[in-house]
Chain A
Amino acid sequence: MEEPMTDNHNRRTFLKVAGGTGALGLTGLAGCAGNSSNGDGGGDSGGSGDTITLGGSMSLTGDNADLGRLYKDAYQETIDRINESGGVEAGDGNTYELEMVLRDDSTDASTSRSIYQELIDREGIDYLLGPYSSSVTLPASAVAAENEKPMVEGGGASPEIFSQGNEWIFGLLPTANKYAKSYIDMALAQSPTPESIAILAEDGTFSQSTAEGARNKIEQTDLELVVDQTFPSGTSDLSTNLGRVRDQGADVLLLCAHQKHNIILANQMESQGVNVDAAMGTVGSLNDSFKGEVGPNGDYIYGPTSWDINADFEDPVYGGTQDFVAAIEDNYDYTPDYHSAAGEAVIMTFVNAFQSVDELTPTAVRNAIRDSDPFSTVYGDVSFDDSGVIAKNMLIRQWQPEPGLQTVYPSSVAQSDPLYPMPDWSER
């Protein structure tokens, strides 16, 4: 689970050779059934002919190459399956095959911008797949708006992307300001009902957005915000801040930060004798490596996720979530995570819109995406609010001593109930 905003990389990720890796067309990957007709494509396939081309830039090399691959594989697998089963029956009465052009931006904003500009100008592409990470998505979304082409993205979760009044961008990840919402709802549903909450937030973009969202949420509840502290990313000691949490007797603790600080949190809660009823870290708290570092100190800690691999949602292409998981595992030799599922939903968002428009134009497709009723994908139900963000809340998972990581909220998808309140350190 990577943070969707790469504000933490300490150097500029350099540009790199794009080109070649791009025009994959339909020339299938090993393991995909070989229905690869019309793979020579490219060109002016936007509105006419029997092919629709989706184009975008993605982190295919560099620091985030591993994550970029999750999107690329999910896109490709989904498009291949759709074409195998005959393509998309669009609302204009024609049937289209899908084609994808994906170029490498190595998480560099200016490279990404020029790729999108080129895809639109040179390749005549009308439907854009978003890039990875918020800082790349933001400028890319501006290109989409300038050229009036719809962009659907599953890789940027900063609220800034959607607060610019841009009507051409749609995001499938709940934005950072929603990360804490479910957690607070969950805590308020427990007994004894918590009365006070503490926020400790790192001074990075993403963490600050998360904290801001949490503050807004808290205002709508009876919770009292007893500690609200920001600390620098470079800080490696939270003991003074945790001392505050302890002295103020906060019932619920929210740490808006990355894995490094989650580790410090878990260890220093113990050593500082901080006994809260619930504690959540926003990013990196659900990783195996987090739990590996902190051992039993990580028990009872919560974390948010936008997708649960154990869920089962219906999907018109795969059948259901578990079929999607199996397909990725079989064809690509790894277990998909929420990036993969969001990638699948990006394609399905376009497909759903193509099916419902009378004529295939960027504006019509944009309107169809915006006005669509919720539809089910392996990722869950998809529909968008007025700003273009998916109408979806985070799921909450918790490290439980037995059997381990469990989805605990909302109850409709929960594997077990949250262990609340967490036991005092002296009783463990």
Chain B
Amino acid sequence: MSTDPDTSGLLRSILPPKRLDRLFDLCGAHGWKLIGAGAVVGALPPVFGLREGYMMTVLSEMFLFAILALSWDIVGGQTGYPSFGNMAFFGIGGYATAILVKDAAVSFPIAMVGAVVAVLVFAAINGLIVLRLRGHYFAIATLGILLAIQQVTRNLDITGGASGKILFDVPPGIVFYYFFLAVLVVEMAVVYYLTQTRFGFILNAIRDDEGKATAMGFNTTYYKTAAWMLAALFTGLAGGAYGLFNTFLDPQTAYNGAWNVELIAMALMGGTGTVAGPVIGAFGLHTIIEYVESSFVGWQLVLLGVAIIVTVIRFPKGVVGTLRAYANEMDYYERGGMAATDDEEVTTDE
């Protein structure tokens, strides 16, 4: 299930695995500089006059989706617990901010703090329930909680019921552009750093074999919950800002079912368990969906479905994972081939 043999011949001549491998090493060695450069490039468009309008919104939403996909990946990709209910964090963050700004008349920054607290409390309770489950059960339980929260939101007065919340007097678009960018950069830095620490190793260990991790002395519940809260934190921040960005929040928008799938698809297509993958996936898929929606109205969701199927069947490792596998295809034999006396059992995938 790695690279497609038909295209790899061409690829091989343009970009041999060796060179790509060196490129990966280079990126790995200069991760901090890359994130810094990304932040600078992201901050530039408004400086050069892009302050509002269509492109501004598109870019803001790209950052937003990258946050959502990367947050999903902390638990789904790094820790191996694929959630189908991450939009619950988004919605709770959004509603908490909206209620604080509109009904309690607090300022935007303070409301965001309130939203973060609300999301973390929710994530802790939610995590207590779902993180005991594995596989199918975990996936569907998270979806069930998302839908239950959506129904509850519809029926409460404080959330404005099905009518939702309208938010006037919101900050201008540029504030949200920089807010989403800043959250994304911070999140990338945090995830990148964590992948190099013992904490990050433990998350990966839980993904690969939770039983073994426990047998090695790790209280996996503790680490899973920490990852879960971290994902909730960033998703909730994004949701909190989005309500104001959009000036309107109802249960349909706040717990958007299509986004819930899109953010998973973005992480998958970019490459789960990596820092760059979900971000690349978010930028790429969002651009494609934008294009399809303007050129072939009504077909964007057909495309999304087909794209998911094709990715899962042909490139389950996503862009980054597939390229990395390609770059590393020879290294096992080169580095340790002589030690591999019984290597007929080489497992190529988990």
Residues of A at the B interface (CB closer than 8 Å) are: 7-19, 61-63, 65, 106, 109-111, 113-115, 117-118, 121, 135, 138-139, 142, 158, 160, 164, 203-205, 207-209, 232
Contact A62-B297, Cβ < 8 Å, known A109-B248, A113-B247, A135-B248 = yes
Could you tell me if B154 and A232 are in contact, using CB atoms closer than 8 angstroms? yes
Q: Can you pick out 14 interface pairs between chain A and chain B where the beta carbons lie within 8 Å of each other?
A: A7-B164, A10-B258, A14-B289, A15-B290, A61-B293, A106-B293, A109-B246, A111-B54, A113-B173, A114-B52, A142-B168, A160-B163, A205-B164, A232-B151
Could you tell me if A61 and B294 are in contact, using CB atoms closer than 8 angstroms? yes
Could you tell me if A110 and B164 are in contact, using CB atoms closer than 8 angstroms? no
Instruction: Give the CA-CA distance A232 to B154 in the complex, in Å.
Output: 9
Could you tell me if B57 and A65 are in contact, using CB atoms closer than 8 angstroms? no
Could you tell me if A17 and B294 are in contact, using CB atoms closer than 8 angstroms? yes
Could you tell me if A12 and B290 are in contact, using CB atoms closer than 8 angstroms? no
Q: Which residues on A sit within 8 Å (CB–CB) of B301?
A: 11
Contact A7-B250, Cβ < 8 Å, known A14-B300, A138-B166 = yes
* Per-residue interface assignment for chain B, residues 158 to 170, with 1 indicating a CB less than 8 Å from any chain A CB and 0 otherwise: 0001111010110
* Per-residue interface assignment for chain B, residues 45 to 72, with 1 indicating a CB less than 8 Å from any chain A CB and 0 otherwise: 0000000111011100100000000000
Could you tell me if B297 and A114 are in contact, using CB atoms closer than 8 angstroms? no
Q: Which residues on B sit within 8 Å (CB–CB) of A16?
A: 54, 290, 293-294
Q: Which residue of A lies closest to B173 (CB)?
A: A114
* Per-residue interface assignment for chain B, residues 67 to 94, with 1 indicating a CB less than 8 Å from any chain A CB and 0 otherwise: 0000000000000000000000000000
With a 10 A CB-CB cut-off, give which of B56, B247, B301 has the most chain A CB atoms.
B247
Could you tell me if A118 and B293 are in contact, using CB atoms closer than 8 angstroms? no
Contact A7-B162, Cβ < 8 Å, known A12-B259, A15-B290 = yes
A245 to chain B, nearest CB (A): 22
Instruction: Give the CA-CA distance A247 to B119 in the complex, in Å.
Output: 45
Q: Which of A9, A109, A204 contacts B162 (CB 8 A)?
A: A204
Could you tell me if B248 and A203 are in contact, using CB atoms closer than 8 angstroms? no
B253 interface contact, C-beta 8 A: yes
Could you tell me if A111 and B247 are in contact, using CB atoms closer than 8 angstroms? no
Could you tell me if A11 and B258 are in contact, using CB atoms closer than 8 angstroms? yes
Residues of B at the A interface (CB closer than 8 Å) are: 52-54, 56-58, 61, 151, 154-155, 161-164, 166, 168-169, 173, 245-248, 250, 252-253, 256-259, 289-290, 293-294, 297-298, 300-301
B3 to chain A, nearest CB (A): 31
Instruction: Give the CA-CA distance A333 to B293 in the complex, in Å.
Output: 26
Q: Which residues on B sit within 8 Å (CB–CB) of A18?
A: 53-54
Q: Which residues on A sit within 8 Å (CB–CB) of B246?
A: 109-110, 139
Q: Which residues on A sit within 8 Å (CB–CB) of B155?
A: 203
Q: Which residues on A sit within 8 Å (CB–CB) of B161?
A: 203, 208
Instruction: Give the CA-CA distance A110 to B170 in the complex, in Å.
Output: 12
Q: Which of B52, B169, B289 contacts A117 (CB 8 A)?
A: B52
B155 to chain A, nearest CB (A): 7
Instruction: Give the CA-CA distance A49 to B302 in the complex, in Å.
Output: 50
Contact A208-B163, Cβ < 8 Å, known A114-B56, A203-B155, A232-B151 = yes
Q: Top 9 closest A-B pairs, CB basis?
A: A11-B258, A16-B294, A139-B247, A205-B163, A14-B293, A203-B162, A142-B168, A114-B52, A18-B54
Could you tell me if B293 and A203 are in contact, using CB atoms closer than 8 angstroms? no
Instruction: Give the CA-CA distance A63 to B300 in the complex, in Å.
Output: 11
Q: Which residues on B sit within 8 Å (CB–CB) of A61?
A: 293-294, 297
Instruction: Give the CA-CA distance A61 to B296 in the complex, in Å.
Output: 10
A414 to chain B, nearest CB (A): 33
Could you tell me if A138 and B151 are in contact, using CB atoms closer than 8 angstroms? no
Instruction: Give the CA-CA distance A118 to B298 in the complex, in Å.
Output: 27
Q: Which residues on A sit within 8 Å (CB–CB) of B247?
A: 109-110, 113, 138-139, 142
Instruction: Give the CA-CA distance A106 to B300 in the complex, in Å.
Output: 14
Instruction: Give the CA-CA distance A106 to B168 in the complex, in Å.
Output: 21
Q: Which residues on A sit within 8 Å (CB–CB) of B253?
A: 12
Q: Which residues on B sit within 8 Å (CB–CB) of A9?
A: 252
Instruction: Give the CA-CA distance A117 to B258 in the complex, in Å.
Output: 28
Instruction: Give the CA-CA distance A63 to B293 in the complex, in Å.
Output: 10
B74 to chain A, nearest CB (A): 23
Q: Which residue of B lies closest to A63 (CB)?
A: B298
Instruction: Give the CA-CA distance A113 to B57 in the complex, in Å.
Output: 10
Instruction: Give the CA-CA distance A61 to B292 in the complex, in Å.
Output: 12
A42 to chain B, nearest CB (A): 16
A176 to chain B, nearest CB (A): 10
Instruction: Give the CA-CA distance A207 to B154 in the complex, in Å.
Output: 13
Q: Which residues on B sit within 8 Å (CB–CB) of A160?
A: 163, 166
Q: Which residues on B sit within 8 Å (CB–CB) of A135?
A: 248, 250
Q: Which of B57, B162, B252, B298 contacts A110 (CB 8 A)?
A: B57
Q: A14-B289, A65-B297, A110-B57 are in contact. List 6 more A-B contacts (CB 8 A).
A: A15-B58, A62-B293, A106-B293, A138-B247, A164-B168, A203-B155
Q: Which residues on A sit within 8 Å (CB–CB) of B169?
A: 142
Q: Which residue of B lies closest to A201 (CB)?
A: B162
Q: Which residue of A lies closest to B162 (CB)?
A: A203
A15 to chain B, nearest CB (A): 6
Could you tell me if A11 and B257 are in contact, using CB atoms closer than 8 angstroms? yes
Instruction: Give the CA-CA distance A13 to B290 in the complex, in Å.
Output: 10
Contact A118-B163, Cβ < 8 Å, known A9-B252, A138-B248 = no
With a 10 A CB-CB cut-off, give which of A11, A12, A113, A208 has the most chain B CB atoms.
A11
A96 to chain B, nearest CB (A): 28
